[in-house]
Amino acid sequence: MIQTDHSELSIVRQCELLGLARSSFYYEPVPVDPEELVIMNWIDEQYTRTPFFGVPRMVVMLKEARYTVGPKRVRRLMRQMDLMPIYPKPRLSQNGMEHRKYPYLLRDLAIDRPGKVISDN
């Protein structure tokens, strides 16, 4: 949409009219590193075989396969590929349905001296 050889409108003015930052016009996308594609392919194959491997295990497996990677890189690549390990998630907030709830027996009792609960029961 922007013409670099326009006689009347400069590139700055054309970017203003389009509501485009000038830096966006000059930006050239960085090509993907071929090593990164190889690592992503390896992660995908390993995830297909073992979907329960998380970032730490993937790092160990990649290092055993002679790739130099760290957990941050593996985490970024797994996020980029939308891979989430399969494992039981915590369910700490849910009560067990079979667990009986006991009533609080001292609710209406005014405790005004030490030992009252023990002696009055």
Who wins on pLDDT, 74 or 105?
A: 74
Who wins on pLDDT, 114 or 71?
A: 71
pLDDT band at 119 (very low <50, low <70, confident <90, very high): low
pLDDT band at 36 (very low <50, low <70, confident <90, very high): very high
The set of residues, in sequence order, having a beta carbon less than 8 Å from that of 18 and lying 6+ positions away, is 1, 2
Is residue 44's pLDDT more than 50? yes
**Could you tell me which of 99, 88, 85, 13 has the C-alpha nearest to residue 43?**
85
Task: Output the pLDDT for position 121.
Answer: 46
Q: What is the mean pLDDT of residues 90-102?
A: 77
Global pTM reads 0.58
pLDDT band at 81 (very low <50, low <70, confident <90, very high): very high
Look up tokens 């392919």; give the residue: 41
Who wins on pLDDT, 120 or 2?
A: 2
By CB neighbour count within 10 A (0-12 exposed, 13-18 middle, 19+ buried), where does 25 fall?
A: middle
Who wins on pLDDT, 2 or 79?
A: 79
The set of residues, in sequence order, having a beta carbon less than 8 Å from that of 36 and lying 6+ positions away, is 77
